[in-house]
Amino acid sequence: MADREPTGNTLTGSVDWEDRTAGPARRLLRRLERLTLQAERPVDRLVGRPQLNPLHYTGPISVLLFIVVFATGLYLTMFYRFGFEASYESVADIEASLAGRFIRAAHRYGSIALVVTSLLHGWRTFVMDRFRGPRRIAWLTGVAAVALVWVVGVTGYWLIWDERVEVLNETLTRALAGVPAGLDFLLDFVLTDAAGTGWPFLLLLFFLHVGISTAVAVLLWVHVRRLARPLWLPPAFWAALVGASLLAMSLLWPVGMLEPLDPATLPQAIPLDPFFLFLLPGGLSWPPGLLWGGALLVTTAVLFLPWYVRRRPPPAIQVDSARCTGCRLCVPDCPYDALHMIDLEDAPHPHLAVVTEDKCVGCGICVGSCPVDALHFPGRSAGALETEVLDLSRTADRVVLVCERHDSVPGAVPVPCIGMLHPDVIGRATEAGAAVHVIGCPPGDCANREGPLTLAARLNRTRLPRLRRRYRDAPITADWIGPRQAPAALAGPGSQPDASLAPDPKQLLTRSSLPLVGLVVATAVVTVLVTGVRFDPGGADAARLEVTLDHRAGVPLEGFGGGPPAPSGAPPRLVVETDGETRYDEVIDTVDADEPGTALLLERFDMEPGLHSVRITLFDTPDRPLVLFDDTVTLDAGEAVVLNYRDVPVVDPVAAGRAIFDETALGTSAGCRICHSLEPGRDLVGPSLAEVGSRAATTVPGLAATDYLRQSIVDPDAFVVPGYPSGQMLANLGDVLSDRELDQLVAFLLTLTGER
């Protein structure tokens, strides 16, 4: 007898096949999957065997890369210091050491690879229709994790105060400057002298970077928590190859350092990492509302895709309690932990299988494990599949059994997942006179995770229910291949059921693995080249005048003297003139920023390179002008003149100094009270500072009390209190604290006189 004529697929009576495959959404996804498989053909041909295709393991490879990125990030944080200059210097120190340079490169390249593999995993999950129904939570957490990985990557670049950050700051300025609270934040913590050393902003970025990374780890756990046996890591051969490629890239192509950020220059051409910084060009040219609103809209749309790309959910498996013997074979076979056993009393069998419907994806793998036909789809006969296969085996030389992704194979009998086949169905078909050819997905590419591995283990007699001994020599062959490879497999003799399922890592050392290694090398080279492409934000041939103002009418400006603060609440007027031309003349609206009635301003004026006269006048009242600037400036191409004006702080310097003294976060503040007590006679690491305000004027001859206290903070070894070693006190407090903070701390110390 010849093979059955290819007159179309047999629709098994055990599955509501029309309901599973109908609908515009399902047809669209099948079309997208075919296009995806077509695009993947070069990779299939290059690696030779589906089991070696990296695209089948993008999920576990992403987890491995996240572990690498998280671990290397923890190492780098141990050497990171907070502050605009301190952050750059600390990263430069890391880059100067061999170990630091290697780990920093591994952190960078691992992050880029994580984005790529995560996006590939998400796309394949989408086109394989693995994102709806019970899988919606996995999709939601997966998309959220990818979005947060992007935020983590951007903040990582921001933590190095180099020239790339100038473009990031420009994007942030365009996004926030139109909102009073945002502009106030920029003026206080990012763009002006009020930011001091910059540690608060860098600390915020650091907490975002580390905190969101931890959130990603939690999302990954939630992502797989509904799975019975989550595959956390890829097979050993891919783990080894990924690790080796990161090692080679990190050693051969260190990421290096850009120039430090210079506020007096306009943004220059920078290497633009398109995997994380792809929004930067739009951030410099598009309206912020359009860019960030559009990005949020797209992310939200993708996030909630399962809720509006709808189809009828696959029916959950039902249990025939009259047939179920409580054998427990179905429970370990379910990949989604949707089955469990309950105990019965006064029943023929002590246990009964129960389905958790909101976890069941309708794959049918459990049907293939049941020896008594107790599991079936709603309204369908449990024995319908066996009846159809046996009827076909009596009229054909060969019966071809395929999974749903291969259902375009002419004349084949499709099932939702190849794991739905019970070994007895296959064995009895051979008894009826037909050879059986099973075609399923490669192990890592199964739409239901474990179908090929489960069936192969059953046929290989290593998993219950086993293929009966009398069928061991029966004409049963199997191919674990992608949908597009099925026709070629049918034309060949087929393989043993357990063949090619788990490639040995030693295969990487064979000559046949060279194309695979070549693919990884080519990917690494392309990655390095792409991340090195430079982006020019423009403006390098121009010049700019920038003016900022943070002012309440009636309050003196820093550096301009004046009487005691007398806020009037009136909106001030600012006039900016260049070369005799009025460029700005506006009454500035007041807002409730740090204080009520505050006028906030950030204005930029494009200038031609050359010599210019600049005059800036502030009017708190029409009859009281204050000339803030009146001079000539020379602007070279790519240069900016930044003029910042803000009020003298209306704060109690003593109270502010006490707050600084009490702060205990070393590296971001003085941390005085860690080492110094304010109680008489109670010495800690350093001497007690009780009554230091009284003795400061006489401690060092020729130094006034204020000068001595300030010197003791910024240059502690200039005078060492007898009985204490030199080099014990932190020597960088002059960098950690701004001049204003130093003045406030000294003001507080001067009050420690012992008098009440």
At residue 468, the pLDDT reads 95
Greatest extent of the chain over all pairs of C-alpha atoms, in Å: 115
Half-sphere exposure in the Cβ direction for 559 (13 Å, CA): 8
Domain membership flag for residue 602: yes
* pLDDT(240) > 90: no
Give the pLDDT confidence of 666-680 residue by residue, as tens digits: 555 677 888 888 888
Distance, CA of 592 to CA of 601 (rounded, Å):
14
* Stronger pLDDT, 182 or 236, i.e. the higher one: 182
At residue 512, the pLDDT reads 57
What sign does the CA torsion over 389, 390, 391, 396 have?
positive
- Structural contact between residues 439 and 403, judged by C-beta atoms closer than 8 angstroms: yes
Beta bridge partners of 270: 535
- Structural contact between residues 146 and 276, judged by C-beta atoms closer than 8 angstroms: no
Beta strands per DSSP E along 191-286 = 270-271
Burial class (CB in 10 A: 0-12, 13-18, 19+), 740: middle
Backbone angles phi, psi at 615, to 5 degrees: -135, 130
At residue 399, the pLDDT reads 93
CA angle 702, 703, 709 (to 5 degrees): 160
- Kindly report which listed range (114-128, 155-169, 737-751) carries the lowest average pLDDT score: 737-751
Domain membership flag for residue 47: no
- Where does the pLDDT of residue 146 fall: very low under 50, low under 70, confident under 90, or very high at 90 and above? very high
Distance, CA of 481 to CA of 489 (rounded, Å):
8
At residue 10, the pLDDT reads 53
539 torsion bin: left (phi>0), alpha (psi -120 to 50), beta (else): left
* pLDDT(623) > 90: no
* pLDDT(493) > 70: no
Half-sphere exposure in the Cβ direction for 149 (13 Å, CA): 31
Mean pLDDT of 393-418: 89
Query: 86 and 64 in one domain?
Result: yes
Instruction: Tell me which of 646, 675, 703 is where a domain ends.
Output: 646
Mean pLDDT of 599-609: 95
* pLDDT(524) > 90: no
* Stronger pLDDT, 599 or 12, i.e. the higher one: 599
CA angle 102, 108, 111 (to 5 degrees): 135
- Structural contact between residues 377 and 16, judged by C-beta atoms closer than 8 angstroms: yes
Domain membership flag for residue 39: no
Query: 122 and 71 in one domain?
Result: yes
Question: C-alpha distances in angstroms, 472 versus 288, 397, 467, 476?
Answer: 68, 19, 7, 9
At residue 730, the pLDDT reads 79
Give the chain's length: 756
- Where does the pLDDT of residue 515 fall: very low under 50, low under 70, confident under 90, or very high at 90 and above? confident
Domain membership flag for residue 276: yes
Report if pTM > 0.95: no
At residue 494, the pLDDT reads 61
At residue 489, the pLDDT reads 77
Nearest CA among 590, 594, 549 for reference residue 570: 590
Spell 328-345 as b/e; 16+ CB within 10 A means b: ebbbebbbbbbbebeeee
At residue 756, the pLDDT reads 52
* pLDDT(115) > 90: yes
Query: 381 and 397 in one domain?
Result: yes
Instruction: Tell me which of 308, 341, 363 is where a domain ends.
Output: 308
Parallel/antiparallel/unpaired status of strands 413-415 and 398-403: parallel
* Cis, bond preceding 260 (omega within 30 deg of 0): no
CA angle 116, 120, 125 (to 5 degrees): 150
Distance, CA of 49 to CA of 565 (rounded, Å):
79
At residue 599, the pLDDT reads 96
Greatest mean pLDDT among 38-47, 112-121, 702-711 lies in: 112-121
Query: 669 and 628 in one domain?
Result: no
- Structural contact between residues 459 and 497, judged by C-beta atoms closer than 8 angstroms: yes
Domain membership flag for residue 158: yes
Give the pLDDT confidence of 539-556 residue by residue, as tens digits: 778 999 999 999 999 999
Query: 338 and 195 in one domain?
Result: no
SS (H, E, C) 288-327: HHHHHHHHHHHHHHHHCHHHHCCCCCCCCCEECCCCCCCC
Distance, CA of 181 to CA of 741 (rounded, Å):
23
Nearest CA among 485, 366, 496, 487 for reference residue 436: 496
Q: Give the CATH number for residue 562.
A: 2.60.40
At residue 591, the pLDDT reads 94
- Where does the pLDDT of residue 2 fall: very low under 50, low under 70, confident under 90, or very high at 90 and above? very low
Query: 597 and 682 in one domain?
Result: no
| DSSP per-residue string spanning 509-544 | GSGGGHHHHHHHHHHHHHHHHHHT-EE--S-TTSEE
Give the pLDDT confidence of 269-324 residue by residue, as tens digits: 999 999 999 999 999 999 999 999 999 999 999 999 998 887 777 789 999 999 99
Distance, CA of 429 to CA of 414 (rounded, Å):
15
Distance, CA of 361 to CA of 130 (rounded, Å):
9
Distance, CA of 609 to CA of 262 (rounded, Å):
18
CA angle 649, 654, 660 (to 5 degrees): 85
Dihedral (Cα; 497, 498, 502, 507), 10-degree rounding: -90
Give the pLDDT confidence of 337-370 residue by residue, as tens digits: 999 999 998 888 999 999 999 999 999 999 999 9
Query: Cβ of 293: how many Cβ atoms within 10 Å?
Result: 11
Query: 478 and 385 in one domain?
Result: yes
Mean pLDDT of 748-753: 89
- Where does the pLDDT of residue 500 fall: very low under 50, low under 70, confident under 90, or very high at 90 and above? very low
Q: Give the CATH number for residue 664.
A: 1.10.760.10
Query: 322 and 303 in one domain?
Result: no
* Percent of the residues in the chain that have a pLDDT greater than 90, as a whole number: 60
* pLDDT(4) > 50: no
At residue 664, the pLDDT reads 72
Mean pLDDT of 132-138: 91
Domain membership flag for residue 755: no
Give the pLDDT confidence of 66-75 residue by residue, as tens digits: 999 999 999 9
Query: 269 and 195 in one domain?
Result: yes
Beta bridge partners of 550: 600, 646
Query: 446 and 390 in one domain?
Result: yes
Distance, CA of 152 to CA of 211 (rounded, Å):
9
Distance, CA of 682 to CA of 686 (rounded, Å):
10
Domain membership flag for residue 587: yes
Average pLDDT, the chain: 89
At residue 58, the pLDDT reads 95
Give percent helix, percent strand, percent coil of the chain, each to the nearest 5: 45, 15, 40
Q: Give the CATH number for residue 225.
A: 1.20.810.10
Distance, CA of 33 to CA of 27 (rounded, Å):
10
390 torsion bin: left (phi>0), alpha (psi -120 to 50), beta (else): alpha
Residue range of the domain that includes 555: 543-646
Query: 295 and 151 in one domain?
Result: yes
* pLDDT(9) > 90: no
Give the pLDDT confidence of 174-200 residue by residue, as tens digits: 999 999 999 999 999 999 999 989 999
Place of tokens 């943004």: 267
* pLDDT(417) > 50: yes
Nearest CA among 452, 444, 535, 558 for reference residue 193: 558
Distance, CA of 672 to CA of 737 (rounded, Å):
12
Query: 302 and 326 in one domain?
Result: no
Give the pLDDT confidence of 554-583 residue by residue, as tens digits: 999 998 887 778 888 899 999 999 999 999
Instruction: Tell me which of 646, 680, 701 is where a domain ends.
Output: 646
Question: C-alpha distances in angstroms, 299 versus 175, 283, 290, 461, 665?
Answer: 18, 17, 14, 47, 37
Domain membership flag for residue 32: no
Q: Domain tally for the chain? A: 4
Query: Cβ of 472: how many Cβ atoms within 10 Å?
Result: 13
